[in-house]
A = this chain, B = another copy of it.
Amino acid sequence: MNIGEVAERSGIPTKTIRYYEDIGFLRPKRNENGYRIFEDTELHKLIFIGRARSLGFNIEECRALLALYDDKERGSSDVKLIAKQHVQEIERKITDLIAMRDTLTHLIDACAGDHRPDCPILDNLSDVKTN
């Protein structure tokens, strides 16, 4: 497979695939004209990385997951720990977003047609104590 086909099949742009090679995620062979040739294992790795990224894992976390993926002797508890930490972070974000949505919704309702200079809701939004 050339890089274009791998990009199509993995959903990862060619630029990004080359970048992933740069940072050591893959090391595809080259043929005589210098083109990268990808094996199925490399395609699978890219799909793996793409999915991990879409789940919000950053590059270093992906590297750790890839190492575990490659390591035949790995224990699954290592993987589970990484995933659990990530779920905690996601849940914190969800909580924050719900709070922000509720605040903004109140803001929209309460500020509609209100031309007074001081809005208590805005004051509350930026109040340190409600942080």
Also in contact, A113 and B75, with CB within 8 A (given A108-B84, A125-B51): yes
A114 touches B56 (CB 8 A): no
Interface string of A81-112 (1 = CB under 8 A from B): 00110110011011011101101110110011
How many monomers of this protein are in the complex?
A: 2
A43–B131 Cα gap in the complex (Å)?
12
A74 touches B128 (CB 8 A): no
Residues of chain B contacted by A74 (CB below 8 angstroms)? 111, 114, 117, 119
Considering the complex, give the chain B residue whose CB is closest to the CB of A55: B100
A115 touches B77 (CB 8 A): yes
Q: How far is the CB of A82 from chain B (nearest CB, A)?
A: 9
Q: How far is the CB of A105 from chain B (nearest CB, A)?
A: 6
A76–B109 Cα gap in the complex (Å)?
12
| CB of A20 within 8 Å of the partner chain | no
8 Å CB contact of A111 from B79, B91, B118, B123: B79
Q: How far is the CB of A32 from chain B (nearest CB, A)?
A: 29
Also in contact, A125 and B80, with CB within 8 A (given A96-B54, A104-B87): no
